Structure 1
Amino acid sequence: MEEGVISMEILDRYISQLLENSTPECPAWFKEKREEGCGLKWNYIDGCMIKAVLELYHMNQDTGYLEFADGFIDRFVNEDGSIVSYRPEDYNLDNVNAGKTLFDLYHLTGKAKYRKGIDLIYSQLQTQPRTKGGNFWHKQIYPNQIWLDGLYMALPFYMQYEVEYNGGKNCGDILRQFCNVREYMRDPRNGLYYHAYDDSRSAFWCDPVTGLSDSFWLRALGWFAMALVDTAELMTGEPRKRLSAMYRELIDAMLPYQDQASGMWYQVVNRGGIEPNYLETSGSAIFAYAIMKSARIGLLPPSYFSFGEKAFDGICSRYLSVENGELQLDGICLVAGLGNVERREGTFDYYMREPIVKNEAKGVAPLVLAYIELLKKHEPV
């Protein structure tokens, strides 16, 4: 679609299309689940999308969004607070992410089971294994590893629990985990952060001296940016100032890599123009949202808003289209991680091999959140 022609009606239509074709067992935005066979499984991907749906409700008070979000999450959370397929003892930070929806749903519906579910997920963080420096392991199956992804999955939830239910007692722990990541994972030469770090230096994908992975992956940097914004929003005083400074430093490092024509960023951020690198939707949408939101709440000067808006416009211009009468969002990296199989080695070639898909929540949800920021900017309520 041509830049500048994206209207409220088009984005609203796209969102409605996805919701109408989704159930908790088989959501339209979860490509992997639909291919593997549908069923109830607690996961971070649904968490991203339902969080965006709840933000839409807060934006326009359309009860249809609240009813959809409540009906979706209600299917997972039992009356005693247990959650279908969720096991705290897996110590998987990805599984914390969907817990963010429970705060809103508890406040909005008053269902006691959501409050119990919040406590269950918090119990995981209380015993989550940690690196020597005090950061959460990304997963039990990835010992001693810190991934940028995990900071977004867990720390905004952790911070919200501290603010609402624990008097902020562990705010220092949260701040320290961010500061450790800056110390371990930031490249001082360009200000970018590597995707992951192995404190034990034993993973096959890491540098045996530094413990760092090979590349600067866009979506991982985006997860980190959102983690900083969403956590700092809940902080006050000196901790907020420190996260704000860390965040602005990150954005100032990212802006030189923003594609001037489209406003987007490349899948491997610092290797734009090297084939087959490509302008990637999900990470660009995450930065569009993070930049616009942070300009609104004062973590960045208002002048930065335009960088996020340009990214949003570029995504819609390049990757949002109509096929067979339905809207499609393309250019989304399906999944990329580091792990226990050799093909996930974190090199440039690896990030180029991962599938590119349409209408997947890791791209859709941040685009919806960025859309909400535009509405707040241009059509305040």
Structure 2
Amino acid sequence: MDTKVIDTYIDELMTKSTAEIPVWNIEKAKAGKKSGWDYIDGCMILALLEMYDTSGDKKFLDFADYYEDFRISDDGSIDGYKKDEWNIDNINGGKNLFVLYSITKKEKYRKALENLYDQVKNQPRTKEGNFWHKKIYPNQVWLDGLYMGLPFYMEYETTFNDSKNREDIYNQFFNVERIMKDPKTGLYFHGYDSERKMFWADKETGLSRNFWLRSLGWFSMAMLDTLNKASDRGSENWNHLKSMFRDLQTAMLAFQDESGMWYQVPNRQNEGANYLETSGSAIFAYSMMKGFRTKILDDTKFRDAGLKAFNGICDRYLTTEDGKLGLGGICLVAGLGPETSPRRDGSFEYYMSEPIVKDDAKGVGPFILAYNETRIV
């Protein structure tokens, strides 16, 4: 791993990006759209803020502040944000505003936090009490959504609301453990339809058919970040969530490839077109290293496995072409349904069919987060 090369890569991502057209949002670029307010950019800005937190280098803070200030008005309204979509993904970018508000004291950031928290308070729920993934995905829980919404929810409760709704947050995690965890592998299925109506859902369990690496990663980060944002460290609920987090990391070790990475569908390593995937591998590299650093994981095997995963990504997918550094092996997107997208059926073949791209923030953001941990451990 050449740290100077990676540092240069991160610098280029910032210098070549504007608030309207960031070079890392490949999904928007492919759709011919400018960047708005979405979880993809939120992931990238979060990574830059963690770089600032550990390095103190103001260039990371300045870029993050420029990027968010551009799309948030003085009254706290957010360009591109629509609450009535009830899209839990839209909460993710709000995580960055806690840091920016605490440092810059810009009231617009506090007001934007209030706007996003208003969605959290009113987000539709399944009968079990979990947030819907989106309005267009009613009564559905996706692992992705726990990362998008619950760490924000916990940080808001801790920072501004005296942790009054902390129990609700824990219960949403515990519901997922009870419903979506596979007892054989210790992994979690990608999605759950509480009404058992969707074409991808098992009519008895409501679960989708497979494990998807990045969704497992999002769920891992959801637990890690929530544990680190909670004000009741060491409580019964906190320890239960800690056990869930550790159990998932342990389960993932059983599926880690000798390269250090994990496969797109992690339990079906040698089947068909399955491939070693960057974004999910980077998320678990980060989860394991930061989990150890923040004393949630207490065994060095996790730190070592995380570092091995990061180095495996560098060896396989960090390449230079015509003098330009790039990060490959990133699944562009994967989801379940809706009815108008029958190919998104949760099958193994579906997860193999989505585009594999370079330099998309869903891979680059986690890669930077993992890189940041290697600079600390």
| Residue aligned with 2:141, SS | strand
3-state SS, counterpart of residue 351 of structure 2: helix
Query: Is the CA contact (8 Å cut-off) linking 2:25 and 2:35 kept in structure 1?
Result: no
Match of 1:200 in 2: 195
Partner of 2:92: 97
1:283 pairs, out of 270, 280, 285, with: 280
2:144 corresponds to 1:146:
no
Moved more, 286-295 or 84-93: 84-93
| Contact kept? 1:29, 1:360, Cα under 8 Å | yes
Helix, strand or coil for the counterpart of 2:211?
coil
Query: Could you tell me whether the CA contact under 8 Å between 2:97 and 2:113 is conserved in 1?
Result: yes
What residue number does 2:305 align with?
Answer: 307
1:324 aligned residue? 322
Partner of residue 125, structure 2: 130
1:8 aligns to what?
3
Give the structure 1 partner of residue 365 of structure 2: 365
Is contact 2:27–2:360 with CA below 8 Å preserved after alignment? no
Please give the residue correspondences for 1:139-288 in structure 2 after superposition, counting only pairs within 5 Å. Answer: 139-235=134-230, 236=233, 237-260=235-258, 262-288=259-285
Q: Which amino acid aligns with 1:253?
A: A
Q: Secondary structure of 1:51's match?
A: helix
The answer to whether the Cα contact below 8 Å between 2:22 and 2:35 also exists between their aligned partners in 1 is no
1:332 aligned partner, one-letter code: I
Structure 1 runs not aligned, ≥5 long: 1-5
Provide closer, same or farther for how the CA distance between residues 40 and 366 of structure 1 changes in structure 2, counting only shifts above 3 A. Answer: closer
1:63-94 Cα deviation digits (max 9, x unpaired)? 11111111111111010000001111211000
Q: Give ranges in structure 2 of 5+ residues lacking alignment.
A: none
1: distance between equivalents of 2:246 and 2:160? 29
Residue 374 of structure 1 aligns with an amino acid whose one-letter code is T
Match of 1:111 among 106, 112, 117: 106
Q: Which stretch shows the higher mean deviation, 224-233 or 31-40?
A: 31-40
- The alpha-carbon deviation at position 40 of structure 1 amounts to 4.3
CA distance in 2 between partners of 1:302 and 1:246 (Å):
15
CA contact (8 A) 1:232 1:243 kept: yes
RMSD, matched Cα:
0.9
281-290 or 13-22, which deviates more: 13-22
| Cα displacement (A) at 1:35 | 2.3
Q: Do the aligned residues in 1 keep the contact of 2:72 with 2:112 (CA within 8 Å)?
A: yes
- What aligned pairs does 1:350-361 form with structure 2 within 5 A after superposition? 350-361=350-361
- Structure 1 stretches (4+) deviating beyond 3 angstroms? none
Tell me what 2:45 maps to. 50
Give the deviation of 1:108 after TM superposition: 1.2
Aligned partners of 1:85, 1:155: CA distance in 2, in Å?
21
How much does 1:34 deviate?
Answer: 1.6
Please list the CA deviations of residues 31-61 of structure 1 after superposition, one character each: whole Å capped at 9, or x if unmatched.
1212222424110000000010111111111
Q: Which residue of 1 aligns with 2:69?
A: 74
Tell me the equivalent position of 1:348: 348
SS of the aligned residue for 1:58 comes to helix
AA in 2 matched with 1:312: F
Partner deviation per Cα, 1:236-266 (whole Å, 9 max, x = no partner)? 2222211110111111111110002x11000
- Which of 292, 296, 306 in structure 2 is aligned with 1:295? 292
For 2:242 and 2:30, the matched residues in 1 are separated by 40
In the aligned structure 2, how far is the partner of 1:37 from the partner of 1:75? 20
In the alignment, is the contact (CA less than 8 A) between 1:57 and 1:63 conserved in 2? yes
State the SS of the aligned residue for 1:327: strand
Q: Relative to structure 2, which stretch is displaced further, 29-38 or 17-26?
A: 29-38
Aligned length: 371
Give a deviation string over 1:163-191, Cα, whole Å, max 9, x none: 00000111100000000000110011111
| Partners of 2:328 and 2:359 within 8 A in 1 | yes
SS of 2:254 mapped into structure 1: helix
Q: Contact 1:27–1:34 at 8 Å: present in 2 too?
A: no
Once residues 204 and 21 of structure 1 are traced to their aligned partners in structure 2, the CA distance between those partners, rounded to angstroms, is 42
Whether the 8 Å contact between 2:139 and 2:195 is mirrored in structure 1 is: yes
Q: 3-state SS of the aligned residue for 1:328?
A: strand
Partner of 2:333: 335
CA distance in 2, matches of 1:187, 1:90: 31
| Mapped partners of 1:248, 1:342: distance in 2 | 35
**Aligned counterparts of 1:276 and 1:35: Cα–Cα separation in 2:** 23
What secondary structure, in the 3-state scheme, does the structure 2 residue paired with 1:264 have? coil
